[in-house]
Amino acid sequence: MPPNPPPTATWRIALPHSTAAVPVARALVRTALAEIAAADACDTAELLTAELVANAVEHTPAGSGIELVIELLPSGCHVEVHDADPSPPGDLSRPADTEQPDPWQEHGRGLLLIRTLSQECGHRETDSGKAVWFRLPARD
């Protein structure tokens, strides 16, 4: 008899448009993944979620909505952060093997982390702005 597939579930959570959203989002992702993911996958999901939420807070007008969507799938997890700015984020393509971040650069490492540590990432337009997302694989 094949093993039971991991549970599927989706959470949609409105976040405050402030830096307080970052630790809230980290805690929500950790709670959602606690039963199905290894500790290192939870750590990675928390880090990448924190980067997306911090970017949404920094690059969208105060008072605009931010929403966190967490999907647990048999293939892993899919996390999206929705914001009101329709402009695409920076470069989410895979880094070249020779690409090195500038150690003196103050910004831009968040998207590098997302595209390097996720299985897949990207963005899409929504009716109210955009969603930036990443996927992590299920644990073996």
- Would you place residue 101 in the very low, low, confident or very high pLDDT band (cuts 50, 70, 90)? low
* Contact (Cβ atoms closer than 8 angstroms) between residue 125 and residue 86: yes
Distances (CA, A) of 66 to 14, 78, 129: 6, 17, 10
Please spell the DSSP secondary structure of 85-96, one letter per residue: --S--S--SPPP
> Mind listing the domains of the chain with CATH numbers?
9-137 (3.30.565.10)
Tokens of 102: 């500038």
Residue 16: its pLDDT value, please? 94
Residue 1: its pLDDT value, please? 47
Tokens of 139: 């644990």
* Contact (Cβ atoms closer than 8 angstroms) between residue 129 and residue 84: yes
The answer on pLDDT for 113 being more than 90 is no
**Residue pointed to by tokens 């690059």:** 59
Pick the more confident residue, 9 or 37: 9
Residue 4: its pLDDT value, please? 59
DSSP state of 111: H
Residue 103: its pLDDT value, please? 54
- What number of residues does the chain have? 140
In the chain, DSSP assigns E strands to 9-15, 66-73, 76-83, 120-126, 129-137
